[in-house]
C-alpha cells in the first residue's frame, strides 16, 4: 500500500524524504545513508565523493543561461536525533521511521521524525534530481554527525568546495532567516563511590516521565521540566530517609531530559511515601500549565544488593542541585536571544560509578568559557573529575551579507511580509564550515518543524510547500559572478 506521505506536495521532496526515512541514520552510524546518497548520485550521473571524514559531496552544472551566476552549495546534515517514547518498541539501528499525517503535520509513531534535517536533505536531492528547475552551478554538502559533535563539519577540509554562497537548510521556522548561531562544548563529570551492602527493609523505583523534552538550544528558554533536575529535587526531599542504589536520567546531550528513574532503599516506608507524595504533588502542580502529561510515580521493586553511602549520596545530590541548568545569560545585543545556556542532559549512577553529561551553548566564546568554568568548578567542588571536549565555534552574525539581502527581497516579493532576521541559540554548521571557507557567504533557512529532538517532532506540510517555493525562487536569483 502506498504511503500517503508520498502523495503530499511537492511530491519530489516528500518522496525523497520517505526514501530517506526508510534508511536508519543515527548519529555516528551514517554508513547506510551515505551508501544511499552515493547510489542516488550514481543513478543520476552526478559527480560525487565521500571525503575523508565521511561527508558526501555532489556537484551539478548550471542550467542553460545560469552559467554566469555564482556557484551555490546546498548543505544539510544526514544524521538524526534518535528519541522514542518509553512504551514504543523501536530500533533506530535497523528500522525506518513510521510516518503519519495529522492535519497539516507529518509526525512519527512514537519516535523522532527526522525532519531535522531530513527535509533539508530531501530538498537538496529534489533539486539535484530535477530536469526543469532553474539554478546556477550547484554543490551539495551532506554532513555527518551534526547532532552529537558536528564532526562532519569540523572534519571538512579546504579545497572540496568551489561555491561562493552556502545555503544551509536547517532552521525550523519558515518566516526566519538565520545569520548566526551559538557554539557549544560538551562537559562530562565522573566520580566513583564505594558500594555498601544493603540492609534496608524496602526498595522503591521512582520515575519521572511524560515531560515535553525538546531541543536543548531552541527550547532551553521555554521553561520545560528537566527530568534530571526534578528527580534530584525528589531525592533531596527524601535524602534523610533513603539511600540511592541507581539513577538513570536523560539521554542525549542535545535533548532536554524527558525521563528519569531512581532506585532507592529505606526502612521507614510510611515516612518515605508521605514525603514522596508531598514533593511529587508540589512538582506536578508547579509544572501542570506547561507539562500537562508529567507523571511522578513510585513503585515497589526487588531489593538491590548495594547502595551508595550516606556521605556519597549527600555529595551527589548537592552537586546536582548546584549544577546550573537552563538559560545562563540573555544577549545584551540581540533582543530575546539566549546568549549562554547549559543542559543537564544525563545522570547515571550505577555499580560504583557516577557520570553526568552536559551541553553548554553560547553565542560568544567568552560566554562559553564562563559557563564551562562555572560548571567545572561546581563538579570539582563535589569531587568529580571533569572533561571538556567536543567544542565548536559559533557563527558570528554578518548583517552586511549580500546573500541575506537577496533572501530578504525575495521573501518580501513572494510572501508580502518581512522575514525575521535572527541568530539561533542552536548549533548550525555554518560557523564551523566558515573556518576553512572564510570567504563563503552563508545563510540558513528552512520549513517549520516543531519539537525537534523529541518524539513529538512534527513538520508542517503547508510550510514545506512554502519553503520549496522560496528555495526555487532563490536559486533563480543568485547573483552573477563578480
The residues annotated as belonging to the active site are 79, 146
Tell how strand 72-77 and strand 138-143 pair up: parallel
Query: Sheet harboring 458-460: ordered strands across?
Result: 99-102, 105-108, 458-460, 449-450
Strand pairing class (165-168; 72-77): parallel
Ramachandran quadrant class, 93 (left: phi over 0; alpha: psi -120 to 50; beta: rest): alpha
The per-residue DSSP string of 259-323 comes to -EEEEEEES-HHHHHHHHHHHHHHHHHHHTTT-TT-EEEEEE-PPPSEE--HHHHHHHHHHHHHS
Classify 208 as helix, strand or coil: strand
Q: How many CB atoms lie within 10 A of CB 52?
A: 9
Please tell me the distance from the alpha carbon of residue 410 to that of residue 479, in angstroms, as a whole number. 12
Residue 222 CA to residue 291 CA, distance in Å, equals: 11
- 464: cell is 514545506
Contacts of 409 (CB under 8 A, 6+ apart): none
C-alpha cell of 294?
Answer: 508529567
CA distance 317 to 230: 12
Grid coordinates representing 128 are: 539535484
**What is the secondary structure of 402-421 as a DSSP string?**
HHHHHHHHHHHHHHSSPPEE
Amino acid at each position: 500500500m502506498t504511503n500517503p506521505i508520498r502523495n503530499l506536495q511537492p511530491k519530489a521532496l516528500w518522496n525523497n524524504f520517505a526514501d530517506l526515512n526508510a534508511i536508519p541514520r543515527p548519529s555516528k552510524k551514517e554508513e547506510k545513508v551515505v551508501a544511499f546518497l552515493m547510489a542516488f548520485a550514481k543513478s543520476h550521473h552526478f559527480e560525487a565523493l565521500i571525503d575523508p571524514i565521511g561527508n558526501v559531496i555532489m556537484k551539478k552544472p548550471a542550467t542553460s543561461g545560469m552559467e554566469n551566476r555564482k556557484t551555490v552549495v546546498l548543505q544539510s546534515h544526514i544524521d538524526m536525533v534518535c528519541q522514542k517514547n518509553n512504551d514504543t518498541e523501536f530500533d533506530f539501528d535497523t528500522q525506518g521511521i513510521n510516518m503519519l499525517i495529522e492535519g497539516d503535520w507529518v509526525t512519527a509513531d512514537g519516535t523522532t521524525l527526522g525532519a531535522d534535517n531530513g527535509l533539508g536533505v530531501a530538498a537538496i536531492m529534489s533539486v539535484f534530481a530535477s530536469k526543469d528547475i532553474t539554478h546556477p552551478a550547484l554543490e551539495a554538502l551532506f554532513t555527518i554527525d551534526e547532532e552529537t559533535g558536528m564532526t562532519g563539519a569540523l572534519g571538512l577540509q579546504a579545497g572540496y568546495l568551489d561555491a561562493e554562497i552556502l545555503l544551509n537548510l536547517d532552521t525550523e521556522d519558515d518566516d526566519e532567516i538565520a545569520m548566526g548561531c551559538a557554539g557549544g562544548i560538551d562537559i562530562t563529570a565522573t566520580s566513583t563511590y564505594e558500594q555498601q551492602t544493603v540492609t534496608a527493609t524496602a526498595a522503591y523505583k521512582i520515575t519521572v516521565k511524560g515531560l515535553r523534552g525538546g531541543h536543548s538550544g531552541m527550547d532551553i528558554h521555554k521553561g520545560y521540566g528537566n527530568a534530571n533536575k526534578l528527580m534530584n529535587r525528589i531525592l533531596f526531599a527524601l535524602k534523610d530517609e533513603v539511600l540511592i542504589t541507581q539513577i538513570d536520567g536523560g539521554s542525549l546531550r542535545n535533548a532536554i531530559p524527558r525521563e528519569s528513574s531512581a532506585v532507592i532503599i529505606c526502612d521507614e516506608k510510611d515516612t518515605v511515601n508521605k514525603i514522596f507524595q508531598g514533593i511529587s504533588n508540589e512538582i506536578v502542580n508547579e509544572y501542570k500549565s506547561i507539562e500537562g502529561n508529567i507523571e511522578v510515580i513510585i513503585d515497589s521493586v526487588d531489593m538491590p544488593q548495594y547502595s551508595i553511602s550516606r556521605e556519597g549520596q549527600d555529595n551527589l545530590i548537592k552537586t546536582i542541585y548546584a549544577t546550573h541548568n537552563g538559560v545562563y545569560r540573555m544577549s545584551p545585543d540581540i533582543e530575546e536571544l539566549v546568549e549562554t545556556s547549559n543542559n543537564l542532559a544525563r545522570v547515571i549512577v550505577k555499580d560504583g560509578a557516577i557520570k553526568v553529561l552536559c551541553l553548554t551553548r553560547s553565542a560568544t566564546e567568552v560566554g562559553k568559557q564562563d559557563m564551562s568554568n562555572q560548571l567545572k568548578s561546581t563538579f570539582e567542588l563535589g569531587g568529580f573529575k571533569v572533561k571538556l571536549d567536543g567544542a565548536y565555534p559559533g557563527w558570528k552574525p554578518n548583517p552586511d551579507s549580500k546573500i541575506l539581502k537577496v533572501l530578504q527581497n525575495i521573501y518580501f516579493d513572494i510572501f508580502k511580509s518581512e522575514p525575521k532576521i535572527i541568530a539561533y541559540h542552536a548549533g548550525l554548521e555554518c560557523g564551523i564550515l566558515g573556518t576553512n571557507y572564510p570567504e563563503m557567504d552563508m545563510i540558513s533557512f528552512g520549513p517549520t518543524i516543531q519539537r525537534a529532538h523529541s518524539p513529538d517532532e512534527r513538520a508542517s506540510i503547508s510550510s514545506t510547500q512554502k519553503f520549496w517555493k522560496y528555495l526555487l525562487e532563490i536559486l533563480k536569483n543568485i547573483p552573477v559572478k563578480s
